[in-house]
């Protein structure tokens, strides 16, 4: 590793977290092959962050669970004439940072590089080659498959992993969101290298790509950069729209007997998608209910008044289509049923009565007060910009955010929760050792 370059970049990164506070000005255009580009000029630091997002997450797995994750991971195992070591050395030699990840909605590739041409050129060329010329080496494919199978075995020992898997599997039964991103032992063993290559050719294309750029360059340079990064991708076609999620019609309880001292409890139902008309009423309302940590109503009822759990939470996870609304906690096995009862009662009372005016005012101050912290570094800005691009939000989404939070009323929260959160139809997932009384029921 070039120690001098790395030290220089590290010093710059340490400063980067406290520079950008203003709402970013987002510029938008398309490349010739259909990729949508979102650019924010941030000249304060000699850095450029790039994120390329494809609509190629686990929701596109079809009958091959795990293929999105494997394809994403394999793209940096070999590209052009380089193997994984060559790729790592190229990024390392110029102090650049590369990462990739795969989620239910999206496949993500990140690059952070210094903006000086001498170093940026190598980083960008390597990044572009990973995206446009992956070779899917056969030996790396077998190695990554074994690694994923080991990870799947380890997940069986994690109550948290089991809980998350059971929740999505049962909440989205029959929908693409039910697919487990890591796949199953059977599906991973059945994957072929040629399957990954076909998946890459279908989904890693210009018309299915979002490019977010935040950094020290002007619009002309950003246009050239975007062209270099994704210009060699085939235009292809955007992924088909995902089916809407059906409303749940009845309650369901899934219990997994697991040898642990603590039970993991979740109750959930399909919540909202990005750009949902109830987004801000549900978000602000949930902040009061269980989204604000130790000062939330849920924490007060579960932790402060009854000492049933150290922490409890609730959140909406808006996605391409209806992501989940989840309430959860961990508690001693012998307290599981009591904690579940209190969690359900707290939700019902909140839906029926809503928050107080004082609670709403406090929540708005907390959200607005913390808003600047959501954009106080280029990395956080690119999180926001890439999300706006991927989910097709308005370019002024960040500009209007505070005003939309401030506009939420108690009645709007009550109305939104009443229409959207039906406690009678929720899925309950409990993972933990069953007490004799529970096992007898």
Looking up tokens 């909140």, which residue turns up?
A: 350
Residue 440 has a pLDDT of 56
Q: Are 87 and 71 in contact (CB under 8 A)?
A: no
The answer to whether residues 113 and 145 touch, using CB atoms and an 8 Å cutoff, is no
* Per-residue pLDDT reduced to its tens digit, 147-196: 999 999 999 999 999 999 999 999 999 999 998 999 999 999 999 999 99
CB 405 within 8 A of CB 361: no
Burial tier of 355 (Cβ tally within 10 Å: 0-12, 13-18, 19+): buried
HSE-CB for 310 with a 13 A CA cutoff: 4
Which of 115-124 are b and which e, b meaning 16 or more Cβ less than 10 Å from the residue's Cβ?
A: eeeebbebbb
Q: Please tell me which residue, 430 or 9, carries the higher pLDDT value.
A: 430
Q: What pLDDT digit, counting tens, does each position of 276-320 carry? A: 999 999 999 999 999 999 999 999 999 999 999 999 999 999 999
For residues 170 and 253, give the distance between their C-alpha atoms in angstroms, rounded to a whole number.
10
User: Cα dist. 222→40, 57, 227, 319 in Å?
Assistant: 9, 26, 9, 28
Question: What's the pLDDT band for 7 if we cut at 50, 70, 90?
Answer: very low
Question: Contact, 73 vs 98, CB < 8 A?
Answer: no
Q: How many CB atoms lie within 10 A of CB 225?
A: 22
Structure tokens that stand for 278 in this block: 């109830």
Give the per-residue pLDDT at 1: 37
Residue 55 is given by DSSP the state: S
pLDDT of residue 146: 97
Q: What is the pLDDT of residues 371-404, one digit of tens each?
A: 988 888 999 999 999 999 999 999 999 999 999 9
Give the 3-state secondary structure percentages of the chain, helix then strand then coil, rounded to 5.
Answer: 50, 20, 30
pLDDT above 90 (res 233): yes
Strand order in the sheet with 27-30: 27-30, 36-41, 209-215, 47-54, 107-114, 97-102
Element (H, E) at 377: none
67-81 residue pLDDT tens: 999 999 999 999 999
pLDDT at 361 over 80: yes
H-run or E-run covering 54: strand 47-54
- How high is the mean pLDDT of the chain? 93
94, 2 contact by CB (below 8 A): yes
What are the start-end ranges of the H helices in 231-329? 279-286, 297-299
- And the tokens for 393? 């939000």
Mean pLDDT for the stretch of residues 321-340: 96
Going along 103-238, which residue ranges are E strands?
Answer: 107-114, 209-215
Rounded Cα gap, residues 68 and 74, in angstroms: 10
CA distance 5 to 375: 26
């Amino acid at each position: 590793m070039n120690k001098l370059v790395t030290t220089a970049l590290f010093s710059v990164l340490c400063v980067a977290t406290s520079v950008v506070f203003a709402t970013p000005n987002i510029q938008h255009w398309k490349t010739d092959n259909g990729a949508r580009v979102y650019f924010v000029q941030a000249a304060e630091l000699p850095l450029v962050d790039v994120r390329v997002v494809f609509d190629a997450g686990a929701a596109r797995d079809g009958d091959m669970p795990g293929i999105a994750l494997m394809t994403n991971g394999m793209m940096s195992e070999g590209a052009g004439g380089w193997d994984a070591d060559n790729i790592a050395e190229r990024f390392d030699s110029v102090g650049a940072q590369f990462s990739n990840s795969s989620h239910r909605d999206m496949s993500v590739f990140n690059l952070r590089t210094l903006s000086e041409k001498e170093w940026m050129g190598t980083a960008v060329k390597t990044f572009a080659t990973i995206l446009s010329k992956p070779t899917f080496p056969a030996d790396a494919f077998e190695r990554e498959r074994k690694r994923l199978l080991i990870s799947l075995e380890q997940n069986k020992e994690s109550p948290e992993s089991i809980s998350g898997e059971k929740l999505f599997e049962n909440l989205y039964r029959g929908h693409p969101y039910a697919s487990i991103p890591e796949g199953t032992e059977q599906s991973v063993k059945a994957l072929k290298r040629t399957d990954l290559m076909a998946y890459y050719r279908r989904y890693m294309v210009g018309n299915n790509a979002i490019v977010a750029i935040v950094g020290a360059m002007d619009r002309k340079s950003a246009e050239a950069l975007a062209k270099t990064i994704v210009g060699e991708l085939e235009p292809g076609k955007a992924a088909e729209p995902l089916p809407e999620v059906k409303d749940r019609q009845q309650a369901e309880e899934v219990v997994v007997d697991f040898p642990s001292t603590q039970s993991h409890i979740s109750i959930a139902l399909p919540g909202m998608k990005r750009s949902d008309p109830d987004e801000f009423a549900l978000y602000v309302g949930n902040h009061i209910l269980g989204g604000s940590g130790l000062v939330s109503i849920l924490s007060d009822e579960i932790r402060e008044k009854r000492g049933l759990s150290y922490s409890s939470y609730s959140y909406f996870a808006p996605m391409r289509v209806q992501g989940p609304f989840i309430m959860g906690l961990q508690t001693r096995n012998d307290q599981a049923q009591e904690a579940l009862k209190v969690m359900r009662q707290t939700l019902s009372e909140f839906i029926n009565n809503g928050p107080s005016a004082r609670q709403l005012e406090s929540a708005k101050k907390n959200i607005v007060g913390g808003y600047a912290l959501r954009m106080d570094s280029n990395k956080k800005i690119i999180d926001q910009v890439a999300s706006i691009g991927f989910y097709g939000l308005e370019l002024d989404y960040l500009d209007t955010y505070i005003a939309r939070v401030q506009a939420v009323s108690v009645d709007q929260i009550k109305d939104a929760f009443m229409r959207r959160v039906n406690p009678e139809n929720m899925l309950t997932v409990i993972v933990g050792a069953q007490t004799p009384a529970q096992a007898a029921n």
